[in-house]
Amino acid sequence: MFAEYSTSELLSIFAMQGVAGLILFSVFVLMALGLAIIFGQMGVINMAHGEFMILGAYVTYLTSQVFSTYLPELFSIYFILAMILAFIVAAALGALVEWGMIRHLYNRPLDTLLATWGLSLILQQLYRTVFGAREVGVTLPDWLMGSYQLTDSIELPVNGLFVMTLAIGISLAVAILMYRSRWGTQVRAVVQNRAMAGAVGINTAKVDRITFALGCGIAGVAGSAFTMIGSTGPTSGQLYIVDTFLVVVFGGASSLLGTIASAFTISQAQSTMEFFMSGSMSKVLTLLFVVFILMLRPQGLFTLKVRR
Amino acid sequence: MSYQRFSALFPKKEMMGFIVLAIILAVVLPLSLDIFRLNLVGKYLTYAFVAVGLVLCWGYGGILSLGQGVFFGLGGYAMAMFLKLEASDPESTKIQSTPGIPDFMDWNQLTELPFFWEPFHSFGFTIAAIILLPCIFGYIVGVAMFKRRVGGVYFAIITQALAAILTILIIGQQGYTGGVNGMTDLRTLHGYDIRTDSAKYLFYFVCVFMLFVCLFVAQFIRKSKLGRLLVAMRDKEDRVRFSGYDVANFKIFVFCIGGVFAAIGGAMFTLQVGFMSPTLVGIVPSIEMVIFCAVGGRLSIIGAVYGALIVNAAKTSFSESFPELWLFAMGGLFIAVVMAFPNGLAGLYNTYAAPKVDAFFAKLFTKKPAVATTAPPPAITPSVSKPVVTKTETPVIPQGAIHE
């Protein structure tokens, strides 16, 4: 399939698709980070993760509506506020869900999967009732519009750059939180041995709740970032949930670095192949490739060496 | 089969469950419903095949597959391909630019039948494909996963990804598969028009018959040593392995059986409903199939049939009258069935209704033993007789273990 292109054409195709893939990569990373915390660290399957993301997107939409109606002079900074709000709302809902549902199911992972799927159905219908079935989009402030022209064929859209920066920033923050803070130590202790962690005085129930809320909050921020790239509908979250789970599993569930590496691989593969074949086939091939690798290496790309 | 072996396979109480179900499905419903409603019940029953397979895989084996829609689709599409080929003979498709190929291929500028469609001219091959395709597919997936000790949630996620892949593939390759519309306009089976009322009656009874075949197979597996091994594996996999059993092979076997059941259900769906589409294959229908099984009771094959019937009937009536409430109800059902009654309807029946029914029959048998042949359905439980103390099942929840 490469035969009909010259080398320089191929190079610029790869560069162009690579840039498009980087934006997909950022969305994957933002979504997968929350899931990597919840699934990788706590072992909880949260099928409603996509709906937490969409919650963030709707919060951003509401904020932009409020700002454009009442505070048009501050419209250029609404996005920052919207992201903070999205984080708070999603994290609060996450804490509520953990308290009402997840904490009763910690030793039954398959049942958690079904219960959170039920939650995702309820949330979807709730969004549909409140916001309507039609997709909504936000107006971006001026400074997020436009693009930088790098070469003739490659241009970097500003909103894409912003999402990428955000993804990198949040990844760093999560990494520091997990591996350099007292709370991160506690989380990892609880994951490795709940009973022992409790015995040395860690409040495991509290750690669980904060961890789950943090994962959901990051999903909310991901949804907020998502509004810059696409429009939001009640079922948008479901479209991404399988991809995101594959990203996390492919990277090795308990490794943050693995999650980022696998998000990079999957997004680049998908976006590069999209140029040469139809979008659906490139997605099928990417997913098949991931499933195939997982069959050869079920523990994922990166694994922590832990004595059990 | 000697009487002794028969009564070991069907203890009196379980036999009663089969008889009641048979009376409801084969006598009560056909007599009380018009053909439109009966056809709907037939459609719901096709999901019962999947649910029975899931009872074996999930309830007994502890393997939660979120990709049963794939098997349902394999069976359904195999049957649909045969019917579609029969419906598109050169005579009835002569207005196409290439007569003799299915209409959607013509619309997508295909000029000849793809090679993998050719064998589906033969009915024998189609039937074989409905049984063998899911077996082969289940075997490949099973070997790849279980031999490497992948289980629990990882298996669930990967099977879910497979369901997603198949849906995207079917929608993307519309020249070969009919795309998002699926295969529609299916007319005859060996010249017998499948759209008439008499055909619908016939297929309903074929469906009930096939369901009972599957139920008997499932019952046989449950009562055999294999069934006990499955339960043992679910509860303490390592101990079974250390006792010298090859755990993976049993899992592969039960996964394949579940797949074959689902494929038979899919084929019956195509026959009764008259089309097959990717919306019946993907992630959402696959996970709904799990809820049919969970509502019925993940440890009861009879319960799974009732679960499929009740959830689907509720879905139809809800979406007819309050479409926006349906997803709330469905979501609530998922949460309730996990948190409040993990053993489903069968668990509720065993805890609350069974003691009363037993007492009623105990009374009946002591007075005049001849009447017992027509057992009333469990729904109309007499509230008189005092409950006797019976052994209630302690809730057993399969735990998916993550093996690394």
The CA angle A116-A121-A125, to the nearest 5 degrees, is 145
Q: Tell me which chain A residue has its CA closest to the CA of residue B155.
A: A298
**Using CA atoms, how far apart are residues B39 and B26, in angstroms rounded to an integer?**
13
**Using CA atoms, how far apart are residues A261 and A247, in angstroms rounded to an integer?**
9
**Using CA atoms, how far apart are residues A134 and A232, in angstroms rounded to an integer?**
8
Q: How many CB atoms sit inside 10 A of residue B14's CB?
A: 16
DSSP assigned state of A136: B
Q: In chain A, which residues have their Cβ closer than 8 Å to the Cβ of B148?
A: 295, 298
**Per-residue confidence at B267, pLDDT binned at 50, 70, 90?**
very high
Residue A171 has pLDDT above 80, yes or no: yes
Which of B64, B158, B290 is closest, CB to CB, to A294? B158
Residue B383 has pLDDT above 60, yes or no: no
Q: Which pLDDT score, from 0 to 100, does residue B7 have?
A: 77
Whose tokens are 């499955």? That residue is B230
pLDDT single digits (tens) A74-108:
777 788 888 899 999 999 999 999 998 888 888 78
**Using CA atoms, how far apart are residues B61 and B229, in angstroms rounded to an integer?**
9
Which of B64, B150, B168 is closest, CB to CB, to A283? B168
Q: How far is B388 from chain A (nearest CA, A)?
A: 33
Considering chain B, what percentage of its residues have pLDDT values greater than 90? 29
**Using CA atoms, how far apart are residues B377 and B380, in angstroms rounded to an integer?**
6
Backbone angles phi, psi at B193, to 5 degrees: -70, 120
The CA angle A238-A235-B269, to the nearest 5 degrees, is 75
B287, A117: Cβ pair inside 8 Å?
yes
**Using CA atoms, how far apart are residues B214 and B49, in angstroms rounded to an integer?**
7
Q: How far is A237 from chain B (nearest CA, A)?
A: 13
Is this prediction's ipTM beyond 0.90? Answer: no
B162, A242: Cβ pair inside 8 Å?
no
- Contacts of residue A227, defined as CB under 8 A and 6 or more positions apart, other chains included, come to A57, A60, A61, A137, A138
- Contacts of residue A48, defined as CB under 8 A and 6 or more positions apart, other chains included, come to A97, A116, A117, A119, A120, A123
- Contacts of residue B152, defined as CB under 8 A and 6 or more positions apart, other chains included, come to A109, A110, B64, B399, B400, B401, B402, B403
Q: Which pLDDT score, from 0 to 100, does residue B309 have?
A: 93
pLDDT single digits (tens) B154-194:
888 889 889 989 998 898 888 888 888 888 888 888 778 88
Average pLDDT over residues B26-43: 89
**Using CA atoms, how far apart are residues B198 and B346, in angstroms rounded to an integer?**
34
Q: In chain B, which residues have their Cβ closer than 8 Å to the Cβ of A113?
A: 64, 66, 153, 156
A111, B291: Cβ pair inside 8 Å?
no
Q: Which pLDDT score, from 0 to 100, does residue A152 have?
A: 65
CB A221 within 8 A of CB A155: no
- The one-letter amino acid at B381: T
B154, A281: Cβ pair inside 8 Å?
no
Q: In chain A, which residues have their Cβ closer than 8 Å to the Cβ of B322?
A: none
Alpha-carbon torsion angle B275, B279, B283, B288, nearest 10: -70
Q: Which pLDDT score, from 0 to 100, does residue B232 have?
A: 92
Which of A121, A284, A298 is closest, CB to CB, to B327? A121
Helix H or strand E encompassing A149: strand A147-149
Whose tokens are 């996990």? That residue is B338
Which of A119, A242, A303 is closest, CB to CB, to B335? A119
Six token digits for residue B328:
């709330």
Residue A217 has pLDDT above 60, yes or no: yes
A117, B334: Cβ pair inside 8 Å?
yes
